[in-house]
Structure 1
């Protein structure tokens, strides 16, 4: 019978160290404990859980978590995230504020998120707001593990379960060098478009998925060549240099298009309009500070988003 009330933070932190380092020896070095102490913490944790949480390798190699161990580690990360948020709240109160919150945002939103934080600092001066910027996967992880109270992203995740409210439109389009032949046309031939080199983010990224869905509408087959690059900024520079074309959030290219440094493909189905969402965990009650910031963001009605871009 599990005795979860006997689990300690020290045991959970030891498990996290072993999981991340792959061995008792490396974990001991990371957290400044002896190997016997690490072993004892893991054994006591297994006793409390009632099942093995680590698989010992038969030959030299990394130790692996059992299915049960993965669940315990997920709980440990959530506890650490919630404690971190609590520490932020206490520090904020010690300096006279009513609270401090962290908002995790996907990398595309970095084009407007800093201005949003500046606006919030004026409307809610008693609340400190910090940003965490990452890809979709890391933002979902932040929500799941309690490292943020709020998040701004595109399509809300199915797991973890969240509450969400739409903030405003998020248009996407195909960007071109200004001298590209397609830049002079009011439409496009899909058979010619798929022959272009497309510069894209990695598999699984939001814009990559959207690009694939865009081409699924046509019957011309897949794109002839895709070149992966790690950031929107790099992609923009590559398109300007004539290395290919790309489907990107139009919020990321608002200034370049307005100044004529990039052009937009025009035609049926473009731009592709998605939405931004404000998201928070359904399993953790929002703090007073988080509720006030949520209300303030909603009240802005998307006015903090970059202006609509048209070709």
Structure 2
């Protein structure tokens, strides 16, 4: 047998995704190139690694065994790269971060310079809702989490990053002729909520309860992008973070409605378990944030901090 590490990586990815097309997209290769490597890899075995039923690809039991072995080999190869880099005085290893969905508009900017300066650091960033992020942190499945509300039940350390501002958002056709919209004027509108477990939903619910706003019509969506598109389409209104709608505000697809008690202001925080033994990579990233956060905020988010 004379298979290559490249072929192992391709087959492992195909086995995980159950699709040549999806594997080619994830690996940034053309579909024909992936198909050729898959055929060359299969030709080295007497038993089939996969079968195609209809137009769907299925990995055989033997293929699953080879996929798991390929994963272990690739892990060892990555470990060799890390160890080599460390002996050369470089920062090397894995960095795992779990973030709430709204933070996807901010965290990449805090990561960019660090990842570009340390090519032997592998990044995994899981984007989900607050409950899942905290569960990941509690189960020690990530090094850091980025959240806008501090968990009360976990003993954590944190670095405060920047403000998170939530406004009442409507589309361009929303009737805002009144200088100040009254709370009672909102009751006839459909309110669009995030799913349970979302920090944005919690903030919105708390606001409505505090101001005794009774919701007559309600819709629930599972991402800020979905909420944004629903508002643009005229389905309803929502209280949502302004950080993810910069372009839509600038081009007039969305508007901020001036209303008492808004914006709601919280803070994004980079948090980690107090008991966590941070790896060298995690310590290096923590130091990077402490030293660079103000410059990053000024460079990329001055428009946000100036918003009223």
Bin the TM-score by the shorter chain.
0.5 to 0.7
Q: 2: CA distance between counterparts of 1:91 and 1:171? A: 44
2:126 pairs with 1:137: no
| Alpha-carbon contact 2:131-2:197 (below 8 Å) kept | no
Q: Which shifted more, 148-157 or 120-129?
A: 120-129
2:89 pairs with 1:93: no
Question: Pairwise mapping of residues 236-251 of structure 1 onto structure 2 (< 5 A)?
Answer: 236-251=228-243
- Identify the residue that residue 307 of structure 1 maps to in structure 2: 303
Q: 2: CA distance between counterparts of 1:180 and 1:187? A: 13
| Alpha-carbon contact 1:112-1:306 (below 8 Å) kept | no
Match for residue 261 of structure 2 among 241, 265, 269:
269
| Alpha-carbon contact 2:99-2:146 (below 8 Å) kept | yes
| Alpha-carbon contact 2:148-2:266 (below 8 Å) kept | yes
| Alpha-carbon contact 1:92-1:128 (below 8 Å) kept | no
Kindly report the root-mean-square deviation, in angstroms, between the aligned alpha carbons of the 2 structures.
Answer: 2.5
Q: 2: CA distance between counterparts of 1:280 and 1:87? A: 27
User: What count of residue pairs does the alignment treat as equivalent?
Assistant: 225
Q: Which shifted more, 125-134 or 259-268?
A: 125-134
C-alpha change, 1:197 and 1:306, in structure 2 (3 Å) is farther
Q: Which shifted more, 257-266 or 124-133?
A: 124-133
| Alpha-carbon contact 1:143-1:160 (below 8 Å) kept | no
- Match of 2:243, SS state, is coil
Match for residue 117 of structure 1 among 92, 104, 111:
111
- Identify the residue that residue 225 of structure 2 maps to in structure 1: 233
| Runs of 4+ that moved beyond 6 A | 86-89
- Identify the residue that residue 17 of structure 1 maps to in structure 2: none
Q: Structure 1: which 5+ runs fail to align? A: 1-31, 33-85
C-alpha change, 1:244 and 1:126, in structure 2 (3 Å) is same
Using the size of structure 1 for normalisation, the TM-score is 0.65
Q: Structure 2: which 5+ runs fail to align? A: 1-60, 62-74, 86-90
Q: 2: CA distance between counterparts of 1:142 and 1:89? A: 24
- Match of 2:222, SS state, is coil
- Match of 2:197, SS state, is coil
- Identify the residue that residue 259 of structure 1 maps to in structure 2: 251
Question: Pairwise mapping of residues 7-26 of structure 1 onto structure 2 (< 5 A)?
Answer: none
| Alpha-carbon contact 1:136-1:153 (below 8 Å) kept | yes
Q: 1: CA distance between counterparts of 2:77 and 2:200? A: 33
Q: Which shifted more, 123-132 or 292-301?
A: 123-132
- Identify the residue that residue 100 of structure 2 maps to in structure 1: 106
Report the alpha carbon displacement of residue 92 of structure 1 after superposing the two structures with TM.
5.6
Question: Pairwise mapping of residues 51-200 of structure 1 onto structure 2 (< 5 A)?
Answer: 90=79, 93-94=82-83, 96=85, 97-125=91-119, 127-182=121-176, 184-200=177-193
Q: Deviations over 1:145-201 (max 9, x none)?
A: 12111111111212332111210101111110111113x443111111133210111
Report the alpha carbon displacement of residue 87 of structure 1 after superposing the two structures with TM.
8.4
- Identify the residue that residue 48 of structure 2 maps to in structure 1: none
Q: 1: CA distance between counterparts of 2:115 and 2:128? A: 22
Using the size of structure 2 for normalisation, the TM-score is 0.66
Q: 2: CA distance between counterparts of 1:269 and 1:127? A: 43
- Identify the residue that residue 6 of structure 1 maps to in structure 2: none
